[in-house]
Amino acid sequence: MLQNKANPTINKSTGLPRKRFYRARAHSNPLSDSHFPVPLSPSHVDYSLHYPQLFPSSDRSDGSKKIEFADIGCGFGGLLISLSTLFPETLMIGMELRDKVTEYVKERILGLRVANPGQYQNVSVVRTNSMKYIPNYFEKGQLSKMFFLFPDPHFKEKNHRRRVISPHLLDEYAYVLKVGGIIYTITDVEELGEWMKSCLQNHLMFEPLSETELDADPVVKLLSTATEEGQKVARNGGQTFQAVYRRIKPASQENS
Ligand SMILES: C[S@@+](CC[C@H](N)C(=O)[O-])C[C@H]1O[C@@H](n2cnc3c(N)ncnc32)[C@H](O)[C@@H]1O
């Protein structure tokens, strides 16, 4: 375990996992998996049983407080780590398809908790296919923030259906986001940036944040550099394209 000095996967001085032991294929096909157990739908979940597993050291692990932030395709977890201390009272979860990468994030969070008692209690990660199971994890209107940072681009047109932002998936995200909740997206692939922006722009339940709102939001400042992918893009001097949209109640539903 983390404290075991003989464990070569853990950096002895920092207590954090060494990334080279958690390498995984760069891309997975999110449409071809058949090996995930189907999570229970929220209406059947006993939060008092599940939350202690996700947030074992949190004083809110009894399920009385629900997860509010979801980082979709969280990769090695850099954003979650930054958000965890920026929003210490908010429960947040990373959803990641690749098993070794998920294990890395679990070990990373655990190592940080051990090194900084009292911190990082509010963050967790699950291995899952978010494209299939988002509505099984969250209730209607549960989330206040969803993150899609540097998602896999799936360049070929025939593979666009593997993208984590699409008109159909936005219906699901609109369902689990509360009115006023925010979707943050960023990529270094211009065509994907345009795709995500146009999906959001054309969806009835989302509107863009104004420049003033973007400037005032501390989370926006994290988007380009908090994650491992973002840091790689920044090191290489790459350009980034972001789209940040708010979940709204469409005018047609104003009175309902
Ligand atoms: C290019 S990486 C970016 C990771 C991280 N957001 C970052 O900025 O460093 C995209 C990540 O999304 C994950 N992913 C792709 N499709 C997914 C899905 N359907 N459900 C969960 N994770 C997924 C991949 O395994 C990969 O770790």
152 is catalytic: yes
User: What's this model's pTM, rounded to 2 decimal places?
Assistant: 0.88
Among protein residues, the one with the nearest Cα to ligand 1's atom 15 is: 73
Assigned domain for 85 exists: yes
CATH classification at residue 201: 3.40.50.150
Q: What is the pLDDT of residue 168?
A: 95
Query: Does 149 sit in the ligand 1 pocket, CB within 6 Å?
Result: yes
Q: What is the pLDDT of residue 170?
A: 98
Residue tagged active-site, from 62, 152, 215, 217: 152
Q: Half-sphere exposure of 44 toward its Cβ, with a 13 Å CA cutoff?
A: 6
Query: Does 217 sit in the ligand 1 pocket, CB within 6 Å?
Result: no
pLDDT averaged per 10 residues, the chain (length 256)? 60 72 66 58 61 78 84 98 96 94 95 92 93 89 97 94 96 97 98 98 98 98 96 96 95 70
Residue 201 CA to residue 210 CA, distance in Å, equals 13
Measured distance between the N- and C-terminal CA atoms of the chain, rounded to whole angstroms: 53
Assigned domain for 210 exists: yes
**Nearest ligand 1 atom to alpha carbon 95:** 21
Assigned domain for 118 exists: yes
Assigned domain for 187 exists: yes
Among protein residues, the one with the nearest Cα to ligand 1's atom 14 is: 73
Domain count, the chain: 1
Query: Does 200 sit in the ligand 1 pocket, CB within 6 Å?
Result: no
> Which residues 6+ apart lie within 8 Å of 221 measured at CB?
none
Query: Does 77 sit in the ligand 1 pocket, CB within 6 Å?
Result: no
Residue 80 is part of which domain span? 45-253
Q: What is the pLDDT of residue 241?
A: 98
Q: How many Å lie between the centroid of ligand 1 and the Cα of residue 72? A: 7
Contact 226, 79 (CB under 8 A): yes
Counting DSSP H helices and E strands in the chain, the numbers are 8, 7
Q: What angle do CA 152, 154, 158 make, to 5 degrees?
A: 155
**Nearest ligand 1 atom to alpha carbon 101:** 27
Confirm whether the ipTM is greater than 0.95.
Answer: yes
Assigned domain for 198 exists: yes
Assigned domain for 28 exists: no
Assigned domain for 122 exists: yes
Which of 74, 76, 78, 73 lies closest to 105 in space, CA to CA? 76
Q: How many Å lie between the centroid of ligand 1 and the Cα of residue 173? A: 16
Assigned domain for 16 exists: no
From its phi and psi, is residue 180 left (phi > 0), alpha (psi between -120 and 50) or beta?
left
Q: How many Å lie between the centroid of ligand 1 and the Cα of residue 252? A: 35
Query: Does 226 sit in the ligand 1 pocket, CB within 6 Å?
Result: no
